[in-house]
Amino acid sequence: MSTIYSRKAFYYETDRMDIIHHSNYVRWLEEARVDMMDQMGFAFSKLESMGIVVPVLSVETHYKFPVRFGDTFEVESRLVEFNGCKFALEYEVRNVTQGTLSLTARTTHCFTTADLRPARLKKICPELYDMYMKQLEK
C-alpha cells in the first residue's frame, strides 16, 4: 500500500536557477514519512512521546525533472521492508503541475530509544508493529 502527500512548492525552497534546490526533496520525503504515519492512524508525535526515535540510516535520490516555485507536487510513499527494528521506504515525487516524475528515492531508518539503542517495535509498541506488517502485506 502507498500513501500520497501533496502540497505546493514554496519560493524559499528555490535556488538561483529558479528551481527547487535539491536538498529540499529530502525534506519533502520526511514530510511524507510523517504524513504516512498520520494516514496509518498513528501520529509520529505519539511515537516520540513513548521515547522512540526514528533516525535516518540512508537516503538515495534520483532526480528526473525539476519542480518550480508554485508547482503542486505529490510524494507517493511505500513501505518496502520491515524487520521489526529497521525499515525502508521508496518514494516517487511527481510534479502534478507539469505532469512529470521529478524524483525517485529510497530511505532506510530504524527505531531506537532516546539514547539511540535499537528498539524492537513488536515489544515496545505492538500496535505500530502490526500497522507496519499490514502495510507490507498490501
Residue of 15, 18, 38, 130 with catalytic role: 15
Spatial distance between the Cα atoms of 72 and 55, rounded to a whole number of angstroms? 28
| Annotation marks residue 15 as catalytic | yes
Half-sphere exposure (Cβ direction) of 98: Cα atoms closer than 13 Å: 17
Show the cell assigned to 17: 536557477
What are the distances in angstroms from CA 10 to CA 18, 26, 138? 11, 15, 33
Spatial distance between the Cα atoms of 43 and 98, rounded to a whole number of angstroms? 32
Spatial distance between the Cα atoms of 118 and 58, rounded to a whole number of angstroms? 16
By annotation, the residues acting in catalysis are: 15
